[in-house]
Amino acid sequence: MHKGVKQLPARWAAAVFVETSNVPVSRERIPVGLLYSGTGLYGAVGQEMLRGALLGLEEVNAWVSTDFVLEPLIADPSGRLRGYYEACDAMLRQHRAMHLVGCYTSAARRQVLPLVEAADALLWHPARYEGFESSESVIYVGAAPNQHVVPLARYMLQHIASSVYCIGSHYIWTWETARVLREMLGATGGHMAAERTLPLGETSVEHVVEEIVRLRPGVVFNTLVGQSSYAFFRAYHAARLRDPHASLPPILSCSLCEPELQIIGAEAGAGHIACSPWFQSLDTLENRVFLGRYRERFGPGSSPSVDAQASYTCMLLLGRAIKAAGSADVAAVRRALYRDSFRAPQGAICVDPDNNHTYATPRIARSNLAGQFDLLWESPALVRPDPYLVWLDQALSEHSEVSAPPRRHLRIVS
């Protein structure tokens, strides 16, 4: 397990563990709850996110000029909603934590939200999500829909095709993403060739691939998650191999990340397009430093996802705000946070006080055979979060924003 963090037993469902590393007694200990599922349906994602959070926490604790340390409380709800509720309850009531970092799914976030709101605590949420929420008690560090779904759909309509086959897992994020896509297609004269959903975890995807081969849409928009998505990429690749002349279009995803490309396999994962505020390949000083520390800490083979990067960023935002406020008091931290901005691995970041979401730089990239992404487009400016898509019509008409892909980044995978 991670250095400095207590080894966790096999069954750690609602238990909360307190990190007890060597911390100078003179520094105030501020408990921070880490709500990540390292096991269960999306355990692989949760583990990377926990790693990102721990790296950020350790970095904050290493600051010499502060008089506090963040003390991690770790629990593994194993993806069970009840587990999230119990762990959050224990963190808030027994351990008096006023800052919690984590939650991957919207269902998990909504499960703990009433507890966090009632305690007037703060949840630092790293994952992108479907939007249509804005709580005073949550800092939404992951991308809002206008920072991932909208730019990807716009890029698709302008540069790839307007006839779309939509495939997704049977749950809210897919439904909402498909709805936004339908709206954008309607406004731009595009065409939904078909819209299919599969139950969560379903890996029988052959019939979907067969339908795509038959319908020949201009592009495939994928919102499958986890094993369903991996199975789909592999089956799609197999169909391409069976009929090289079929020229099946690329698959577009809002959630495809580097650790998943490893799971899918190099060839099946290559040549597809994703939208995210961060990719491992982002060539900035801050990102190189982050990746270096991550690999040093968790091994050269470790591969952070965008959500792991956001978890790391959550912890830095929290540490900086506590430092600036001189206190972990939620109101003081919130005020300090609203004044802050800094360069995270994903680039400049700051929080919009109107809705508690972060400004981000959407990027679109194509996966390559090395399991990395080559940048195709990046927003020329930070994009203000619009969780309720109040400005969707304007985002649609901003054709200039998605200009042609810059040539220097183009590395087409054949």
Partner 1 sequence: MTGPRIPSFRNRHALVVHPDDNDRRLLDGRLRRLGLVVHCHENMPPVPVASHADVVFFDVDTGAGSPFEGLAPSVRLIALVGAETPGRLEWMLAQKPGAWLMKPIRSSGVYTALAMAFQRLEQQHDTERYLERLRLRARHRDPVEAAIMQIMHQNNCSEQEAFSSLRKAAMDTRSSLVTLSKSILADDLPPPQRGLLQRGG
Q: Does residue 178 touch partner 1 according to CB under 8 A?
A: yes
Asked if 113 and 123 touch (Cβ cutoff 8 Å), the reply is: yes
Of 19, 133, 258, 378, the one binding partner 1 (CB under 8 A) is 133
What is the smallest separation between the CB atom of 354 and partner 1, expressed in angstroms?
18
What is the smallest separation between the CB atom of 86 and partner 1, expressed in angstroms?
10
Residue 58 or 86 with smaller CB distance to partner 1 = 86
Q: Is the dihedral of CA 36, 37, 42, 46 positive or negative?
A: positive
Q: Does residue 201 touch partner 1 according to CB under 8 A?
A: no
What is the smallest separation between the CB atom of 132 and partner 1, expressed in angstroms?
4
Of 82, 96, 191, 242, the one binding partner 1 (CB under 8 A) is 82
Residue 210 or 354 with smaller CB distance to partner 1 = 354
Q: Does residue 85 touch partner 1 according to CB under 8 A?
A: yes
Q: Does residue 307 touch partner 1 according to CB under 8 A?
A: no
Q: Does residue 409 touch partner 1 according to CB under 8 A?
A: no
Of 88, 92, 113, 212, the one binding partner 1 (CB under 8 A) is 113
Residue that the structure tokens 């979060």 belong to: 385
Asked if 355 and 387 touch (Cβ cutoff 8 Å), the reply is: yes
Residue 185 or 337 with smaller CB distance to partner 1 = 185
Residue 114 or 406 with smaller CB distance to partner 1 = 114
Find the part of the chain contacting partner 1 (CB under 8 A) among 131-139, 231-239, 250-258, 402-410.
Answer: 131-139
Residue 71 or 133 with smaller CB distance to partner 1 = 133
Total interface residues for partner 1 by CB under 8 A: 20
Residue 129 or 294 with smaller CB distance to partner 1 = 129
- Interface residue list for partner 1 (CB under 8 A): 81-82, 85, 106-107, 110-111, 113-114, 130-133, 170-172, 175-176, 178-179
